[in-house]
Amino acid sequence: MNAPLRKAGVVVLVMFGLLFGNLNWVQGYKADEYRTSDYNRRVTVAEYERPRGIIEADGEPLAENKATDGTLKYLRVYPDKQLYAPVIGYKPVNNAETGIERSEDEFLAGTSDKLFADRLSDMFTGDNTGGGNVVLTLSTRAQEVAWKELTGNERGVAKGAAVALDPRTGAVQALVSMPSYDPNPLASHDEKTFQSAFKKLNEDRDKPLLNRAIGDTKPPGSTMKVLIAAAALQNGYTQQTEIQAGSSYTPPGSGAPIRNAEDEVCPGSRITLKEALTESCNTGFAQLGVKLGADAVKNTAQAFGFGQTDLTVGNLDGGGLPVAASQTGEMANPDGSPDQAALAQSSIGQRDVRMTPLQGAMIAATVANGGKQMRPYLVQQLLSPERRPIYNANPKTLRTPITAQVAADLREMMVSVVENGTGRRARINGFEVGGKTGTAQNAEGASPHGWFIGFAYNDKGEAVSAVCVMLENVSGGHASAVAAQISGLIMRAAAGRGGD
């Protein structure tokens, strides 16, 4: 064989070797990626060959399917539009799911290992059953009341959130974010419809796609005083311990005085801890925080869940909607020494303190549950396509930040806030209600945020609901008063008494 033929033969062998290697690379390593790629139209068509599982609450479908005569056989439909969108999310054709549609995607699609037996049965019967069904913890009545009251609030506030929990289990009874959005166009089979709807929502300055209940943090104002009171009670104080107060307090190292919301609030030099919480005494809690020290304040907040970056709300066995971490801020000078001015402001929920509404509800729930904080969850059950139970939520304790005695003291003090102090509008006939209001200053010249965290016990002494309502930039009057009233209505609905 002459030299040119030998060279040609070597080249051919090398090319065959490369081709063989590439084939094995594709089959052995890249097959899964190509099979599940958003650009693989056959995968998309196959996914829509059978109906996706239903998401439901109280027996009502919140996400279901509509048969079509197109290439994609089923269209995802959301009957209640804006009401549940922050929880459920949406299922677009390009597989970029959000919310529960994302966290429970495999089960809803029928591809989860939990449904292996059902898929195996289909192979023998020839059936093409749908995906698994997800049952949520939400009380549809509480959710409807929360949405109605938030969107129709008396001050015309356009942005806010509400969360209600069962203090005994952590089950989410209501979770509302305002403004919300209609997920139906985002599930459209028409790419232009999806792109247009998403672009409009994504560019909206009010951020309707943001879940404010769990994904956004704001200064909590005087609701922070519950944590400062908890720190004091755990460090030897009692409800009747007198703390320093007064009409004005200027922290060391600061030229900016802290004053109370009104002149008649704790004008005297001393006030009991219980009275200070009842009246929401800024000067008292600012001085108390400074006396306790930054470590005590930060450690107590951390014990309640501040700083946790890995919390999700969904399935207790893993997965769910990610929760933004609440933060206290550093409260220190550049050289590391305590910044008492920052500590004083932080102790009344200002400066760098930031909190999610979910965290606020968890604080109230912890007090109502005797000091034990349950992990919040949204998924109550997973059902097979034939509605056979696959999973039932088993409530889990997340942490125990305070003792039962401290919780009992805080409960009594927070009841006093509603009965005698700033939270009167949260009262519910037939229930013992406790809570704490909060008015938080934010951007200069902007109206304050209004907060309320609280809980309700029924006439059997059972803690039936814990809630947090936050309204952004409330103009006119006490910003927290509207939040307190809405909170009471949500808890009454969650307890089964309606919301009218």
- Distance between CA atoms of 349 and 218, rounded to whole angstroms? 10
Q: DSSP letters along 347-391, please?
A: TTT-TT-BB-HHHHHHHHHHHHTTTPEEPPB-EEEEE-TT--EEE
- Looking from the CA of 297 toward its CB, the CA atoms found within 13 Å total 31
3-state secondary structure of 175: strand
Dihedral over Cα of 182, 186, 189, 191: its sign: positive
Instruction: Tell me whether residue 322 is exposed, middle or buried, using C-beta atoms within 10 angstroms of its C-beta: 0 to 12, 13 to 18, 19 or more.
Output: middle
Read off the DSSP letter of residue 15: H
CA distances from 394 to 123, 171, 375, 379 (A): 33, 10, 10, 10
- Distance between CA atoms of 107 and 117, rounded to whole angstroms? 13
- Residues annotated as part of the active site: 222
User: Other C-beta atoms within 10 Å of 148: how many?
Assistant: 17
Closest CA to 227 of 292, 162, 320: 292
Using the CB atoms, write b or e for 358-397: b if 16+ within 10 Å.
bbbbbbbbbbbbbbbbbbbbbbbbbbbbeeeebbebeeee
Angle in degrees, 0-180, between the axes of helices 479-494 and 140-151, rounded to the nearest 10: 160
Instruction: Tell me whether residue 265 is exposed, middle or buried, using C-beta atoms within 10 angstroms of its C-beta: 0 to 12, 13 to 18, 19 or more.
Output: buried
Which residues have a Cβ under 8 Å from the Cβ of 122 and sit 6 or more positions away? 128, 129
Distance of CA 141 to the CA centre of its chain: 19
